[in-house]
Every structure is written in C-alpha cells, then in structure tokens.
Amino acid sequence: MSKKVSTSVSKKASNRSSQPTTTAWRYYVVLAIVALIYAGLLARSAYIQIIEPDMLKKQGDMRSLRTAANTVQRGSIVDRNGDELAISVPVETVWADPKIIMDNNALTMTEHWQALADVLGKDVNKLTTRVIRNPRKRFVYLERKISPAMANYIRELKIPGIHLRKESKRFYPTGEISAHVVGFTNVDDKGIEGVERVYDQLLTGKGGAKRFRKDAKGRKIEILSVKEAQAAQDITLTIDQRIQAIAYKELKGAVQAFKATSGSVVVADIHTGEILAMTNSPSYNPNNRRNTAIHRFRNRAITDIYEPGSTMKPLTALTALEFGSAKVNTVIDTSPGWMRLGGRRVNDPINRGKLSIEDILVTSSNMGTTKLALSVPKNFLLDKFFDAGFADSTGTDLIGESSGMMHDRQRWSKFELATLSWGYGLAITPMQLARFYATLANGGIKRELSIIKGDKKAGERVFSKKNSLAITQMLETVVDHHVQKAKVDGYRVGGKTGTSFKAVAGGYGNDYVGLFAGVAPISDPKVVVVVVINDPGGDLYHGGEVAAPVFSRVMQGALRVLNVAPDSSAKLASNSELRVSKSTQKIAKQEANDV
C-alpha cells in the first residue's frame, strides 16, 4: 500500500517538473517584445537613413544652420563736380513678433502701446489688431524707415516682441530741382524713376552672406560658405547742379508768371553732348511724395512732344544749302506774300518782297521757307529731317524717352511739305530740339546726348561744316534784330523762336506752345539752351515773349558758371566784371539752396 502511494507521488512530481513554469513563459514573452522593439527601431532607422532621410536633415538644419546677411548700402548719385544728388542715410524699421507678444501677454501694457502708436502716428487699435490677427506669426512690419530719434524712443519702451532693424533710406539733398533727372526709389530701395531706375543694378550692388552651423548653445561650430559682397557703384552725372538750379529757378518763375501748364529747359554742351541741366516745372519733392499727383513725376523734357514751329526754319534753310538749290547770298522773292498749294493757302502777315536766307530767318517768313523747301526733292528734304534725329531717341537711355513723331510715308502733298518746313506736321521733344541745335552749332556732327559723366559717344556728320556754321551765324542776326529779349550781355548769341498751336482731335485748338532754342557764344559755340513754355495762359504766348527771356537768363548763368569768356566787342572792356569768380559760384550755389 505504501509502495503504491509513493509511486503515484513520484509520477505527479515528475509531471510537474516536465511543464514550463510561469516565470519562464513571461521571460520569453518579454524577450520577444524586446526583440520586436529592436527590430522596429532598426527598420525605422533604416527607413529614415536610407529611404527617406531628407525630412530629418531639414529639421536638423532648421535648428542648427544659420545665414548672416551682409547688406550693401546703395551707391550715391553726384553731379559732375561731386555735389551729392542722392545719398543713403541710416534709419531703422519697426517690426513685431506676434508669438512673443502673445506668449508674454504684452498687450496688457496699454500705456506702452499707446506711446508706440503716438510716435508712429497710428491708431493704437489698428496697431494691436495687426498683432492679434496673426498671433502665431513671427514677423509683421509696423513702420518702415523711421528716424534714429524715433527708434531710440521705441527702444526705451521695452515692449516684448517689438524689435528694430537697421536699414537705409534714400535722401535727395537738391529736392525738386533735380527730381526729374535723379528720380527716386521705393520703400525697398529699388529705383522706379529717373537715373535711380536706369542704373538700379549698379547702384544696388550685391549683398554678401555667411552660412554657418551652430550648436545648442548658439556657438558657431562650422562655417559652411562665405559669399563676398559686391560694393555698389556711385554714379556721376553730367549735370552741373549750379546750372540746374539756375534753370529751375528761371523756369519755375516763368511758368507761374505766364500761368502756363508746364515748361521744360534743357542745357547741353555743344561739343560733347553732355547734358548740363534738364529741368521741368511743375516738379515734386522726392523726399516727400505723399499726395503728389502722378503727372508731376513725368520728365517732360524727354516724354512730351510738341510741334516745334519756326525753330525748324533753320533746318529748312540748311537743307536748301546742302542740296545746292540756294546759296548763302541767294535772294528769294516772296511776293505777293501768299500762295496756294493744292487749294490750301500759305502766307506771311505782309508782303515782304525779296528776302535773303538770313532775312527769311530774321522775319520768320513762311513764304520764304516754303519756297526753299519746294526747291529740293521731297526725299532729300525728308532725309534731312530724319538725319537731324527727329525719329530717334537722343541716347540718354532714360526711362520714358519719346522718339518723337516724324512720318515716314511715300505720299506728301506740297502743302504738307510746306508746313513741315516751318515746323508743323512733326512733333519732337525738347531734348531732340537741343540735339539739333547742338549739331548745327558744332559744324554738322550729330552726337548722342549723355547723362552719365565719361559716357562720351562718337558722332556722325550729317551736315556740312560750311553750311552749318553759315546758318549758325545767321541766327545771331535773328537775335540781334528780332529777339531782343534773348540777348545776353557780353556775349554773341544766336537762336530762333517758335510759336505753335497745340494739336487737338480734328485739327488745332486755341492753346499755344512758346519755344526758344539758341547757342552761345557765336564766335566759338559751347552751350545750347532750349526753353519750352507749354500753354501760357495770359495775353503773352509767343516764343519771343515767354521763352526768350528765360533763355537769356539761363544762358547767362551757364556761361558764367562755366567761366566762358565774353566775345561781344561792345562788352570786351568789361571782361573782368563778367568772368566768374569764386564769389559768383557761391551765389549760384546759394540760388540752388534758395530754390
């Protein structure tokens, strides 16, 4: 009995020892789970590093890579003597970090925000709304390019999330005097008008940048790349600011005195084609363009075109001399003072009888000019007008320059050729007119005009030297006998007036354009001045009445500033009084400041 019991007990113990324990089973489960975890991590690691590593690289770079920009200040614009016309001055920009503001509950600093709004000239509610509108945004402009004094005040407010960034702002010392030439930039310092726009790339330069990696404490641990900055270039203009100031002052006064819509003056060097002055009225202040009418930004000297009227008669006379149908001493019979061409009437105010070419220019005879024009072949006449550059830009490369309007068609009636000969049927800019008179006075060589100092351009002969200078000499008689208001004390001056009706739809209206174009000194021409007074509103509207006086004063100022010796025999005894001294140049600069 006892043997049976012991045998069954031993069998039960043997069965228990052959089955796994609970502890062993759990061990294997945990081991399997750990193995699966490691396998999952290994698979994930392989997936990230081999199949799709870019995402983590990007995340890492966002935390460790930084780029430090090195901005370049915009270049200056100066006149031919180095006087500054456009410079960059240091300013600061106010910006906000809405996330920092909201995290620090900075909007509860109501007095500080009111002070910020007051100094920026803004409504405090609108200011805070810009922050609340995008609470997780990291950058919002509050005000661009404020003065250093305002920046210091804002810095003292110590509003969390309100920051300042250094920038530069364009400043124009000469203001409205040179506004149309220099132009201006927008808030991002990009040129959008005038020289600022044409040479924006040179003036801007290229900023540099340093790319580096930092550690968790913000220390630089690796410099990855360095891009060197390219310095901006300064631009030197051909403009002489002393002459520019004189021209603007005289033009502005004339436009106001004659109640004109607008006016332009161009002054250029006859032998180099350099523009010494180019101004328009009305102008604008480039330092404060708020509420300025957009039409004031237009550089009328190169954009607006006018029928030049009698200022074209010297070209017609020159054409006849060039073809050989007339000589300097040729006499033209203009009797009976009128003629009909294709049913249209051409006439002078009175019967002037027999006139020399010089008399035709002095009396501004339409009859005489018409007969000279009809004495040459049509194509020859038209070619000379094209040779003068009345269908081309003048070479300044300024934005918006018009090439004028000169028809290139096969059929021209005799009446149309007649009107063309005395300045109707074409439209040109004041700049184109200045280039023609420079071509005439330098002996027939046409040069492109330049606005950048040192940008000397080659010329081409379009008229013979002999005939060009002969017409130039005749223009002196025009001034002496017919346009007394254009005279300049101490200098021999030549020029021609022009008065034209303004074209309207279907014909001509009752508005006028008064012009005067002339050169001096006649003994050795150096300077050309063109004056245009558009739509004078008073009783005086002829070129000799509204434009010639402006020409006289501008030419006198230019010759004195350039220290050109007098050449009038009646005034040679007073040479020492007329030459420019240092004190005279100071007066010219003072006039610039007064304007």
Helices marked H in 47-84 — which ranges?
54-64
Q: Rg (Cα) of the chain, in Å, rounded? A: 40
Q: Which long-range contacts (CB under 8 A, 24 or more apart) does 411-416 make?
A: 412/378, 412/382, 413/341, 413/342, 414/341, 414/342, 414/374, 415/341, 415/342, 415/344, 415/346
- What is the DSSP track for 255-318? HHHTT-SEEEEEEEETTT-BEEEEEEES---TT--TT--GGGGS-HHHH--B--GGGGHHHHHH
| 498 strand-pairing partners | 515
Q: Is 397 helix (H, G, I), strand (E, B) or coil?
A: coil
Question: What's the angle, vertex CA 298, arms to CA 292 and CA 299, rounded to 5?
Answer: 130
Residue 569 annotated among the catalytic residues of the structure: no
Helix axes 465-482, 430-441, angle to 10 degrees: 110
DSSP letter for 108, please: G
Q: Which of 88, 178, 310, 421 is catalytic?
A: 310
3-state secondary structure of 214: strand
> What contacts 537, CB < 8 A, 6 or more positions away?
258, 259, 260, 261
**Taking CA 533 as the corner, what is the angle to CA 557 and CA 275, rounded to the nearest 5 degrees?**
45
343 backbone φψ class: left, alpha, beta (φ>0; ψ -120 to 50): left
Separation CA 226–CA 238 (nearest Å)? 38
Catalytic residue annotation: 310
